Amino acid sequence: MAITRLNITEFLRKSQEGFLIDVRSPSEYRHAHMPGAYSLPLFNDEERKVVGTSYKQQSRENAIKIGLDFFGPKMRSMVDQVELWMKELAMDPKQNSVFVHCWRGGMRSAGVAWLLDLYGFKVFTLHGGYKAFRGYINEQLNAHYKINILGGRTGAGKTMFLKNAAAQNLQVLDLEGMANHKGSSFGKTSGEQPTQEAFENLLGLALANVSANKAIWVEDESARIGDVQVPINFWNQMRAAKVYYVDIPFEERLQYLEQDYATVPTEDLQSATNRIAKRLGGLETKNVLNYLTEGNRKEAFRILLRYYDKWYDLGLQKRGQENIIRFEFESHDVFDWKKLTHGEN
């Protein structure tokens, strides 16, 4: 079989139906990688350092020989691992191709591709490697989009509404889902947040798949979502976009928050409260913590909701008021996308 080298566009398109392998070192992969890629490092971090030092200080040929010393004992286990992964995914090696990349599309991906091709896999490699992928992502992040912002105070159910929007034939970007964070001091979800680069990779690929003829609906967010930053070009477009402000009554939002945070441990809610103590104020912080200790989450959330309402309203006032379109709904249950969109997509 022959190994085929693809540009980034073709590589991303074709690899959706195949098995994607990242042969960079473990630390490179942990920092960020193509979504869906499996880590099959040719060299571990220390080996990569040794080979790189030899390349710089001695010669390319010497670095290759050292690399072969590291590579040789791993060959059998690497083939076995790819077969095992494909079996677990119910992939047929005779039907599903393997897509391999390293950092620049150089010797690491060439070496692993040679091995897998020799064994009998149909192998594709990426011209320019992960570096080309990052260039592609940056192109998406710096392009222009038609954006609609779904706004509303805390507890309005914005995330819930957006998750149901696909049934209305709307394009949606779930920034909080990509960031694995709900966007406030209380927004930490289970699991770790992605690195900044990994978040950008998820967002860039999502943007690559949107239709330019349709608006993208995005929840009203701060520039930071937990520890990650919304890329500046996309953020500026969000700030300039129309805000479809959903006004849900206070008590309805309070009830929604009670349900939404019902399974969050009290200790986590107390820690989140302490993180905003300076802005919340000493007395209100004390009251919230006491209510949480007593198990009276409703009254604790009542104080916190007033606090977040105040800050959201202040932020909204800084937006161009001509771009804010307000809609009132008596409850989450009667929310109607058609009322917001007037039939637009």
Catalytic residue positions, numbered = 102
Radius of gyration of the chain (CA): 25
Q: Determine the Cα angle at 164 with ends 161 and 168, to 5°.
A: 110
DSSP conformational letter for 195? P
Q: Determine the Cα angle at 326 with ends 169 and 343, to 5°.
A: 25
- The continuous run of DSSP H or E covering 48 comes out as helix 45-57
Q: Determine the Cα angle at 15 with ends 147 and 72, to 5°.
A: 135
DSSP conformational letter for 103? S
- Measured CA to CA, the distance from residue 196 to residue 107 in angstroms comes to 27
Q: Which of 50, 172, 41, 54 is nearest to 102 (CA)?
A: 41
